[in-house]
Amino acid sequence: MNYRAIIFDLFGTLVGDFMAAGRSYDELAAILGVPYEPFMKRWREITPRRTLGEFQTVEASIEHVCGALGVAVNAEQIAKAVEFRLEYTRRALVPKPDAVTTLAQLKQTGFKVGLLSNCSIEIPILWPETEFANLFDSTIFSSRERIKKPAREIYHLACERLGVAPEECLYVADGENYELAAAAEVGIQPVLIKTSESQSDVRREAQQWRGATVSSLHEVLALTTS
């Protein structure tokens, strides 16, 4: 098959696992003056809603959790908490060693490059300042589109934005929440990238995968010429 586009997952694929970037929620709770355990419980509860874009600012998600806990926070606390949260996220968006060179080579070779990420609003807010910003022809963030993987519609949207048919695409991801099988169902060729987090519970698909695999991003280049 002559592929025209490569679509990448973000966390665990182009960058490390988000939670591995640093467990600093205790500091965030301290800034807001709320107890850590209740804060984390509420924060985790709204993760699906944040991923689907219910909160279009960082402030909105923080204020929602504080309100649910019955804690009044002032504007200064909110501002400090937002900046802390954004800085935490910046640390998570550092490219893997071979990410930037692989993306640049794909573009130089004439491939269209897309991103498909389930993420909260912090990611699209910070995206323009990352090393990735100019390396993609299309970026789809679940919190902006209000739809997330493994919904089939988001894969079709990724192809539409790139101007290619599903059969002309590779989808490279770490196998979280059966995203690879969903890509295959719409006609995209899925490729698992093996990571140190592949054995985690949310990546059960990676543990069971029998399809195409790569061990590094650089290996994707060989797939495009095979």
User: Tens digits of per-residue pLDDT, 55-82?
Assistant: 999 999 999 999 999 999 999 999 999 9
At residue 1 the predicted structure's pLDDT band, cuts being 50, 70 and 90, is low
Per-residue burial over 158-196, b = 16 or more CB atoms within 10 Å of its CB, e = otherwise: bbebbebebebbbbbbbbbbbbbebbeebebbbbbbebe
**Which residues, listed in sequence order, are joined to residue 11 by a DSSP beta bridge?**
15
Predicted confidence (pLDDT) at residue 38 exceeds the cutoff of 50: yes
Q: Which pTM value belongs to this model?
A: 0.91
Structure confidence by residue, pLDDT tens digits, 10-29: 999 999 876 654 467 888 89
Cβ(193)–Cβ(173) under 8 Å? Answer: yes
Structure confidence by residue, pLDDT tens digits, 126-172: 999 999 999 999 999 999 999 999 999 999 999 999 999 999 999 99
At residue 111 the predicted structure's pLDDT band, cuts being 50, 70 and 90, is very high
What is the C-alpha end-to-end distance of the chain, expressed in Å?
Answer: 8
